[in-house]
Amino acid sequence: MSYAKPLPVPDSESRPFWEGTREHKLLMQRSPTTGKYQFPPTTFTPGGLERPEWVEVSGRGKVFSWIVVRAPTPADIYAGDVPYTVALVELDEGVRMASNIVNCAPEDVTAGMAVKVLYKQVTDEITLPLFEPA
């Protein structure tokens, strides 16, 4: 399977996240003491020395903010995708993550719009989490 666009490079902190997406599960880190979720992944919980646990989250959320890319540069490898929507999605668990909104016209995206995760396998190792209207 070939993919011509940049790919994430899983490291020791993010590997469980990418292993989860490959299995069509959205995993986030959570403090075992406070129950507070965190993203992006880190070795320790913010402000402490506690190791976060990985848990599956709902994959549901709402659009917090977004942009629509309409005019990439001529050398842009995403030129064939325009227009496309890049959004900051606030998951029901309270963390925010950047992704694309798909299966929705860019002009139909609104603040607070309910979305759910879907998965796009782009290589044997990497499956990207995208969002669509819920």
Does residue 10 fall inside a structural domain? Answer: no
Please report, for the chain, how many H helices and E strands are present, in that order: 1, 8
Residues 18-38 as b/e (b if ≥16 CB within 10 A, e otherwise) read bebbbeebbbbbbbeeeeebb
Handedness of CA 56, 60, 65, 69 (dihedral sign): positive
Does residue 7 fall inside a structural domain? Answer: no
Does residue 42 fall inside a structural domain? Answer: yes
Q: What is the pLDDT of residue 100?
A: 98
> What values do phi and psi take at 114, rounded to 5?
-70, 135
Does residue 41 fall inside a structural domain? Answer: yes
8-state DSSP, 20 = H
Does residue 49 fall inside a structural domain? Answer: yes
Does residue 4 fall inside a structural domain? Answer: no
- The tokens of 63 are what? 């659009």
**Which residues in the chain land under pLDDT 70?**
none
- 124 contacts 21 by C-beta, under 8 angstroms: no
Q: Look at residue 54 and give its three-state secondary structure.
A: strand
Does residue 28 fall inside a structural domain? Answer: yes
CA 30 to chain centre: 16
Domain membership of residue 26 as a residue range: 15-133
Does residue 115 fall inside a structural domain? Answer: yes
> What values do phi and psi take at 93, rounded to 5?
-80, -5
Number of domains in the chain: 1
- Overall pTM > 0.85: yes
